[in-house]
Amino acid sequence: MSDLQIRSATLPDIDAVLTFWREAAEGTSISDDRDGVARLIDRDPDALILAERDGRLVGSVIAGFDGWRCHLYRLAVHPEHRRQGIGSALLTAAEERFVALGGRRGDAMVLERNETGQHAWRAAGYAPEEQWRRWVKHLTT
Q: What does the alpha-carbon distance between residue 140 and residue 40 come to, in Å, rounded to a whole number?
A: 17
How does pLDDT run across 8-65, given as a tens digit for each residue? 999 999 999 999 999 998 777 778 889 999 999 999 999 999 999 999 999 999 999 9
Are 85 and 59 within 8 A, CB to CB?
no
Please write down the HEC assignment for all residues of 72-134.
Answer: EEEEEECHHHCCCCHHHHHHHHHHHHHHHHCCCCEEECCCCCCHHHHHHHHHCCCCCCCCCCC
Decide: 50 and 57 in contact? Cβ < 8 Å.
Answer: yes
How far from each other are the two terminal CA atoms of the chain, in whole angstroms?
A: 43
Q: Which amino acid is at 73?
A: Y
Task: Kindly report the pTM of this predicted structure.
Answer: 0.90
